[in-house]
Chain A
């Protein structure tokens, strides 16, 4: 029982980082119906930038997160301009495929710049652990959970309480109608990519702290888990993405803890298939319909 509680806690911790990934991904999908395949590599690249800041500052976690977030924001905008703004929308595959191109550039750039070996991410708070009943909790883990929850609340407030949030929801609903009602569509889309990039940057810094290491090849794995969380939670629904990410983390950890690591992807993707079969809109999704 003690081990189960520890594993559930581990699952929530990992799942919260997947939730951040899913959030950034679902924002763009919800607004543009665009799959941003560069999202995983944005996370990876931002994580490396955060690591450089962490090492350069002698272990300042806040600075590492800030640099990773800034890098994520810049890359988010780069994806917008490189894959959407100036790419023909005549073919829906063109923007999506160009995000694949950006992903490859980022991954190859990272391998050339930082090498292919795993790089250690020092955790300045690694010795600060305490017992919460049977669960071993690390101070750095609490920081990670705290930042993740704060970002989720911040995103919720942004979407529900601000003009930008309203504009984003309007654009997500229908570009043409939003434009007719005076919403600056292109600027709103650019902001959406910016926020998605910020979430990717935060996810990069936090995941590298959770995983202790980083490699240039981490992006695809994280992206797939984030996408799965997004589908389980409900396509385009930010609250669903939060829920789905945590579910993926818990499933993964339970598979490793009680079956074998070989089954972790089997279990996660079996859950994905089950959701698509029996609840295709996901747990928090709305009825799927065609756009006008």
Chain B
């Protein structure tokens, strides 16, 4: 009898300890994927999020509680996402969700998170117009391509006296298709630039092995500039073929091209190309610089946009947990999620990706916009002011 009593006491103590530990954890869901065409971005995003959680926990966590990431890899399969989001919300009971990898995936994750009233923060979801349908629970700390690109290209068109452009568009990728069918034509109409491909678009599909035929078509149009509505790898491939076919035209692109991949894949063919940019790795701000330096020292690699934005995604949620006064009591989960959501409205963060705030009306991020030019195999950034939207 005595032994049974001791066993029961030990069991109760163990359970109590577990409950206590559970209440100490601040659970944040993270959804990315390391598979598929965007898997490399997912790997970097996971790494960025993990390093942020480690850094926060090393400093004692948030209000003395440790951040625990509940990670899911949807293996590049969008069909897994509804179950993952529901599991995070109702089984794992996370306070908020960070992710997913792509805009197409966000169009699945955001509506469900919004319906379940779980704050969700996209860190690599750049398609324009995606937020309006998913308010008030969806936010993102990446600036949409259209918002970021318009003022930069307006300035370049003036500086380079560009009168006619030809656009090449990836019709398979949702962001590129949006940029190619709505954003770029609208912007060029507004700027009074002739769009030679307006009625006969030059298209390709990401994953198409060859773009030779498309480039021959662009060459026949003889534009002042070739404009990409494409991911960095594909745009680089097109640029190589453009130069191989003897075209000397200016190359223009959206903020989606900015990053190492475009230069690494394009080599000398992308010299002189101009895009918009939002992640400034060489940001001279001492706080941002210290974040970037610390991350690079840890990984031994150059910090890229997706890694920095995922890192800052965790910082942002942590800041909202603190600012919102989250209790982390299991009975208060719904209230805690509401507190985090409210705290995210207008939140101001300084992290590895720079300084930004989240707009309380739109859930979009406000960041400095920059023009990026490739010269000598490197990006050179200059700030651009006076944002203007083509829409």
Binding site for B on A (CB under 8 A): 2-3, 6-7, 10-11, 13-14, 111, 115-120, 122-123, 126, 129, 136, 138, 207, 210-213, 215, 217-218, 221-222, 252-254, 256-257, 260-262, 264
Contacts and interface: CB of A to CB of B under 8 A. Distances in A.
Nearest to B200: A260
B233 A213 contact: yes
A253 B220 CA distance: 15
24 contacts: A2-B220, A3-B217, A10-B210, A115-B43, A118-B236, A118-B261, A120-B236, A120-B240, A120-B264, A123-B240, A138-B244, A210-B210, A210-B212, A211-B209, A212-B244, A213-B237, A217-B207, A221-B207, A221-B208, A222-B209, A252-B210, A256-B203, A261-B208, A261-B214
A218 B209 contact: yes
A118 B263 CA distance: 12
A285 to B, nearest CB: 26
Contacts of A207: 209
B244 A10 contact: no
A253 B211 CA distance: 9
Contacts of B205: 261-262
Contacts of A260: 171, 201, 203
A7 B213 contact: yes
B203 A119 contact: no
A256 B246 contact: no
Given A117-B233, A118-B234, A126-B244, A257 B171 contact: no
Interface string B207-230: 111111110110010000000000
Interface centre among B210, B243, B245, B266 (most CB of A within 10 A): B210
A10 B212 contact: yes
Contacts of B216: 3, 6-7, 10, 257
Contacts of B36: 116
B17 interface: no
Q: Is the interface of A mostly helix, strand, loop or mixed?
A: helix
Nearest to B236: A120
Interface residues of B, number: 38
A122 B267 contact: yes
B40 interface: yes
A217 B37 contact: yes
Given A126-B244, A138-B244, A215 B236 contact: no
A123 B245 CA distance: 13
Interface of B: 35-40, 43, 171, 201, 203-205, 207-214, 216-217, 220, 233-234, 236-237, 240-241, 243-246, 261, 264-267
Contacts of A212: 237, 240-241, 244
B265 A213 contact: yes
Contacts of B171: 260-262
B208 to A, nearest CB: 6
B3 to A, nearest CB: 52
A22 B199 CA distance: 36
A84 B101 CA distance: 39
Contact of A262 (B38, B203, B209): B203
B213 A253 contact: yes
Interface centre among A213, A217, A253 (most CB of B within 10 A): A213
A117 B209 contact: no
A241 B323 CA distance: 67
Nearest to A208: B209
Nearest to A119: B265
A258 to B, nearest CB: 9
B243 A126 contact: yes
A275 B40 CA distance: 41
Nearest to A260: B203
Contacts of B264: 120
A211 B246 contact: no
Given A211-B211, A253-B212, 9 more contacts: A120-B236, A120-B265, A120-B266, A212-B244, A213-B233, A213-B237, A218-B207, A256-B214, A260-B201
Contacts of B246: 129, 136
B245 A211 contact: no
Nearest to B231: A118
Contacts of A13: 212
Nearest to B245: A136
A129 B244 contact: yes
Nearest to B38: A116
